[in-house]
Structure 1
Amino acid sequence: MTTGTTQDRAKQAAGRRAAAELCHDGMTLGLGSGTTAHFFVRALAERVADGLDVVGVPTSQATGDLARSLGVRLTDLEAVSELDLTIDGADELDAQGDMIKGGGACLLWEKIISRASRRTVIVSDASKLVTTLGQFPLPIEVLPFGWTSTARLVTDLLRDAGYDICAPVRRPGSCGPLVTDSGNYLLDVRLGAIQDAATLAAELNQIPGVVENGLFINMADAVVVGHADGTTTIREPGDISGQDTNA
């Protein structure tokens, strides 16, 4: 059995539990992006086919396409004032519930939709749980106009903050630079270990040309962790990297 197959089993278990236990009739749901969140969307679609009455707001065009293809009814933030719940994934998640997101290039929509929700629950396999954020490259979404100048300012800020880094790398796409659903570029930077994520997130967003960054601070209300044997646990911020308490 390959590692990938084992990880997919864990992701699917987390997505299925979130769909089974957290989604109820009448809810407006934020539908996350990435592989684990898409397992959730597929499980949600099964419940919709069985009669569950919900409406979703997708965090990316890809998630919207998937949900529509599976029969999940969609709306947008212009039509609803507040979402009941967002279910999304993470690239890294620490014990306090702070995250790095954006590996799938959807961080801006994901952050907007999470902030518009009463609750955000993360679905994850155990490999995403870390003691300190920063091993996963931090994505920073920037305007295409003047992006090289923005990248220099990002580099200066990070070096002044004590990070020994290489210059941010503009993420490539299939033909030229990757362009996000909002028409922007992504810069990826390897920090190694982030000591004060909240301060860094705020400072990055003060740079002209930075649209948003992939640090999600105080946004996870709980995490559903899937395991390779198909079991799951639900953990609260403050104990996300701790012992399993709910098999």
Structure 2
Amino acid sequence: MDARQLKVEAARAALAHVGSGMRLGIGTGTTAEEFVRLLAEKVATGLDVVGVPTSERTAALCRELGVPLSTLEDTPELDLTVDGADEVDPDLTLIKGGGGALLREKIVAAASDRMIVIADKSKLVETLGRFPLPIEVNKFGLRATEVAIGAAAAKLGLSGPVTLRMTGGQPFV
């Protein structure tokens, strides 16, 4: 099975937990996109759900494929969130948020009764850390936050650069 097919199978397993009338948190990333595609097929055949996307990218895909959407303001309690991960270790500890939607992913997950994390075998690692650890920061106090992150890492015996992710010459948002 190729990488895409593995993502599809992970998404299909999560879809088995979705029933009509459910309010869903819908995650961000390549595996979550496969979930959206499969969910859209079910919606087209009569599955009645509403989704709260964790990113504009996910929202656009849902709209394109006909998955009904809401917001957390209008749907503050969710039955289930399905989202992907960047890395998963043998204890099922994971890193997520590399796609830039970490804050929204956390808020949507917190509003959900249950969460299913889907990942293909390429995300399985013996030790977390192959993927850069995403940390959200605020523009205010950015340098102080960078110093604090470096100090916290040093206390744990970790080293390496603290890097502000940029896009188009601006901090990644």
With the shorter chain as reference, the TM-score category is over 0.9
- In the TM superposition, what is the alpha-carbon distance from 1:94 to its structure 2 partner? 2.2
Runs (4+) of structure 1 exceeding 4 A deviation are: none
Q: How does 1:189-208 map to 2 (within 5 A)?
A: none
Number of positions where the alignment pairs a residue of Structure 1 with one of Structure 2: 173
Q: Which residue of 1 aligns with 2:169?
A: 176
Q: Whose relative contact order is higher, 1 or 2, with alpha carbons under 8 Å and at least 6 apart?
A: 1
Paired residue secondary structure (1:29): strand
What amino acid maps onto 2:163 in structure 1? V
Q: Which residue of 2 aligns with 1:71?
A: 66
More helix by share: 2
RMSD between aligned alpha carbons? Answer: 1.5
TM-score normalized by structure 2? 0.93
Give the Cα–Cα distance (whole angstroms) in 1 for the partners of residues 62 and 171 of structure 2.
23
- In the TM superposition, what is the alpha-carbon distance from 1:122 to its structure 2 partner? 1.2
Give the Cα–Cα distance (whole angstroms) in 1 for the partners of residues 112 and 149 of structure 2.
30
Match of 2:139 among 139, 144, 149: 144
The CA deviation string for residues 104-153 of structure 1, in whole angstroms up to 9 with x for no partner, is 01111111111111111111111212232222110111012231221111
Q: Which residue of 2 aligns with 1:83?
A: 78
What amino acid maps onto 1:42 in structure 2? R
TM-score normalized by structure 1? 0.66
Match of 2:161 among 158, 161, 167: 167
User: Does the CA-based 8 Å contact 1:30-1:59 persist in structure 2?
Assistant: yes
What amino acid maps onto 2:148 in structure 1? L
Give the Cα–Cα distance (whole angstroms) in 2 for the partners of residues 95 and 112 of structure 1.
26
Indicate yes or no: 2:48 matched with 1:48. Answer: no
User: Does the CA-based 8 Å contact 1:170-1:177 persist in structure 2?
Assistant: no
- In the TM superposition, what is the alpha-carbon distance from 1:178 to its structure 2 partner? 4.2
Structure 1 unaligned regions, length at least 5: 181-247
The CA deviation string for residues 190-244 of structure 1, in whole angstroms up to 9 with x for no partner, is xxxxxxxxxxxxxxxxxxxxxxxxxxxxxxxxxxxxxxxxxxxxxxxxxxxxxxx
Give the Cα–Cα distance (whole angstroms) in 2 for the partners of residues 148 and 41 of structure 1.
38
